[in-house]
Amino acid sequence: MTNRERKRKLVGPWRNLHGAVWLIGLAILAWQGWWWPGILVLVAISMLLEGVLMAVAPHAFVDEDAPPVPVHPPAPVSAPPPAAPAPQPEHRYDLLPANCPNCNAPVRGQEVKWTGPQSADCPYCGTNLPMRAQPSAAGAGRAA
């Protein structure tokens, strides 16, 4: 090998195939007890496999100097835990009327069916309850 030739190595599943040929070959050699000439045959089969792979799948080889190619895709980065749900707007119990205008039943903030932050239905008849006007902060400052 000259200085111009680069050493190439198998990557990915092709490397696994090459390793499997060696493991199966060594198992057959051990089973048959055919070590001495058998190992030379196994080396020849390995070289033939590399030659066939170079012809059929040249992408199976990378330069030895190149950065390693991951065999498996990188594990996905776990997403940060979901943010806590936005706090529900507080229901304004002080805006509820004392009695339902339709059925005259007493209105309690814990019993009404809230349909929005400032909208509720009567628990007895289902009528949408009118909310009282909100006291304005600007009006309170002028009274003094």
**Tokens 């040929």, residue located:** 21
pLDDT tens per residue, range 25-65: 889 888 888 788 888 888 888 888 877 877 777 776 676 66
pLDDT tens per residue, range 99-143: 888 898 888 878 888 887 778 888 888 888 888 776 654 444 444
40 burial via Cβ count (<10 Å: 0-12, 13-18, 19+): exposed
114 φ, ψ (degrees, to nearest 5): -75, 125
DSSP 74-119: PPPPPPPPPPPPPPPPPP-GGGS-SB-TTT--B--TTTSEEEETTE
Which residue intervals of the chain are DSSP H helices?
Answer: 13-32, 35-56, 137-142
pLDDT tens per residue, range 38-47: 888 888 888 8
